Amino acid sequence: MVCERIQTEKMPKLGFGLMRLPQNGGAVDVDGVKRMVDAYMESGFNYFDTAYVYHGGNSERVIKEALVDHYPRESFYLATKLPAWVMNGPEDRDRIFGEQLEKCGVEYFDFYLLHSLEDGKNYDLYEKYDCFRWAVEKKEQGKIRHFGFSYHGTPELLEQVLDRHPEVEFVQIQLNYADWNNQVVQSGRLYEILHRRGIPMIVMEPVKGGMLANLQPELEELLKAVRPEASAASWALRFVGSLDGVMTILSGMSSEEQMEDNLNTFRHFEPLSEQEQQVIQTVVKKMQDKPLIQCTSCRYCCDGCPMSIHIPDIFRALNTARLYPGDNRPKMFYKNLVGAGSGRAGDCIGCGQCESVCPQHLPVIELLKEAADTLEQAKQ
């Protein structure tokens, strides 16, 4: 097989992640997505990252309507992913892939990933169903241009997978300044492994699901003292963009305002200065003193919850309650959330479905118990 090298020099630094698209009445705001796609493309960027499971399976359909139907195929890069956890056997590989081609309205994918490799069942299923060899065959057929995987596992497993599968051309990892030394995520070690091997990286969660865009006031003041006009999100994106070997940085933009802010960061990108790097380290040290739940709102936990608990939203309320114990707003937010259809934190039956799919490996069941104790008080 002749492998065409990824032309990293042609790749856009900012990628459009399609996991957190704008909503309108509980559904994806397609008109809003179209405006965001147009603004993004007009600014010279063209990498779109979706997945079979995003937005309940609708993300791929939306990108057809917002992008594929309006722009020449060669003018953009489209990436999607194969999810092990919805497969029952190797026959599902072709079924899912065929659905993806149809939903996206394309004949090939520029980048195709095995979704969310991690220690245990997910990785074992990809091996059991021979997905690596299958993906290489799809590449030989011209259905995939470049093959890789997204990763949420340990550094040790990453080394093993890369040793076993030299056909992998790129890896997508969670990387941001808060997770660089995080003992669970271990972003720094994952980066160092890939950089040492010369494997191009695509970065997800550079703003940690929005957490680094909404810092506590005292932390944001540290950033504003150096760059008064810059958003907190721009600092997080510039941290990742300053690292050697990072090919594209995905941002799951959910509003036109977020899109414009990110475009401003990357139109004339400036790496962090030494002084700015030191400020980031100060912010990280202060963040580590605050006991926040490290949820990125990917919502994988919600799809299979038998009690329909909106777990990420409840964790947002619990984080606020932890930081401001006397503030009544988290309880009001929680009350409104339950009123709008979420199951209560106290409704959790401890089935463990959520913990089995959480990329951050959070103790969701225990945290929901804390949320029930903190936010529910009496029956709402």
Q: Mind giving me the DSSP string for 115-147? A: EEE-TTHHHHHHHHTTHHHHHHHHHHTTSEEEE
User: What pLDDT shows up at residue 122?
Assistant: 87
d(CA 32, CA 256): 8
User: What pLDDT shows up at residue 3?
Assistant: 52
User: What pLDDT shows up at residue 48?
Assistant: 98
Listed residue (183, 109, 176) closest to 146, CA to CA: 109
CATH topology assigned to domain 8-287: TIM Barrel (3.20.20)
d(CA 304, CA 353): 7
For residue range 294-329, list pLDDT tens digits in order: 898 899 999 889 999 999 999 988 987 887 666 677
Q: Which residues pair with 202 in a beta bridge?
A: 172, 248
Sequence-distant (6+) residues with CB within 8 A of 21 are 28, 29, 32, 33, 55, 59, 62, 254
Counting residues of the chain whose pLDDT is more than 90, the rounded percentage is 80
Amino acid present at 58: N
The DSSP bridge pattern shows strands 14-17 and 246-251 to be parallel
Token pair 């909106």 in the structure block, residue: 310
User: What pLDDT shows up at residue 67?
Assistant: 98
Counting residues of the chain whose pLDDT is more than 70, the rounded percentage is 97
When pLDDT is cut at 50, 70 and 90, the band that residue 1 belongs to is very low
Tokens linked to 284: 């990280």
d(CA 68, CA 198): 32
Tokens linked to 28: 């994806």
d(CA 154, CA 294): 17
For residue range 183-235, list pLDDT tens digits in order: 778 899 999 999 999 999 999 999 988 889 988 889 999 999 999 999 999 99
d(CA 245, CA 226): 27
Tokens linked to 308: 């329909």
Report domain extents, the chain: 8-287, 300-376
- Cβ contact 93:131 at 8 Å: yes
The set of long-range contacts for 61-67, using a CB threshold of 8 Å and a minimum separation of 24, is 61/103, 61/104, 62/18, 62/21, 62/28, 62/30, 62/33, 63/18, 63/33, 63/104, 64/103, 64/104, 64/105, 64/106, 65/30, 65/34, 66/30, 66/33, 66/34, 66/36, 66/37, 67/37, 67/41
When pLDDT is cut at 50, 70 and 90, the band that residue 379 belongs to is very low
Tokens linked to 60: 């791929």
pLDDT, average across residues 68-78: 98
Amino acid present at 52: Y
For residue range 137-178, list pLDDT tens digits in order: 999 999 999 999 999 989 999 999 999 999 999 999 999 998
Listed residue (89, 68, 29) closest to 256, CA to CA: 29
Token pair 């060669």 in the structure block, residue: 74
User: What pLDDT shows up at residue 380?
Assistant: 39
Quick check: 268 pLDDT over 70? yes
pLDDT, average across residues 261-281: 97
User: What pLDDT shows up at residue 324?
Assistant: 61
Top-confidence residue, 26 or 103: 103
pLDDT, average across residues 95-99: 98
